[in-house]
Amino acid sequence: MSSTKPTTASISDLAPFVAAVLKDKTVTDLTRENEELRQREEERLLVEITGRGGTPVHYQASLKDGHPHPWLSDRWIVNFEQKEENENGEDVDLPLSVVGNLEVRLGGIVVSDMRDLSNDIEDDGCTFSDHEEDSQIDLADYINDGFSVRFNQTPLHLIINGVEFNKEKIGSLLSIVERMRNSTTNHTN
């Protein structure tokens, strides 16, 4: 019975190949981990207007797509893309009667609900905000056609153009936005 022993030369010849395979797996694992971390950051920056409990999602945008308020340096505005219908062909305008059931979410966390908006409506009828002293985030949302549920017996609809945040209250998230913007700029140069 003849047995062949691997020679030292043949084992050392395999070492670079084994190292390359291990390196590829490490690089693949690190790439996957970086993608998971990037996805988590994206989720933290998600701004949504939803129904109670987070569903349905009526409007969605990212803090990174926001911009400073043109006149108020302490404000950050996130605008929502306006669509006439969703992917199912259904009208996306919200009946004004549902306003009390809406929630504003940042990173999946409810930062304001709209149950008590009738107390905060301004005289011009087109701006409302949540100014509670203990509120995590100060919000101002814009609606069309005032706060009347019906006009000549026709139900009115709510269109939310955007959300306005107090920069001081979302400073840590804005630093993520800045870092992401710098990262994107560095990769394109």
Would you list the DSSP string of the chain?
----PPPHHHHHHHHHHHHHHHHHHHHHHHHHHHHHHHHHHHHHTEEEEESGGG-SEEEEEEGGG-EE-SS-TTEEEEEPPP-SB-TTS-B-PEEGGGGGG-EEEETTEEEEE-TTGGGT--TTSSEEEE--TT-SS-EEEE-SSTT-SEETTEEPEE---EEEEEGGGGHHHHHHHHHHHHHHHHHH-
Can you give the pLDDT at residue 162?
A: 86
> Which range, 15-24, 80-89, 96-105, is most confident?
96-105
Q: Per-residue pLDDT for 138 more than 60?
A: no
Can you give the pLDDT at residue 67?
A: 92
Range name among 15-19, 83-87, 145-149, 183-187 with the lowest pLDDT average: 145-149
What number is the average pLDDT over the span 122-144? 38
Q: Per-residue pLDDT for 186 more than 90?
A: no
Can you give the pLDDT at residue 125?
A: 38
Report the percent of the chain where pLDDT is more than 90. 8
Can you give the pLDDT at residue 100?
A: 79
Can you give the pLDDT at residue 66?
A: 92
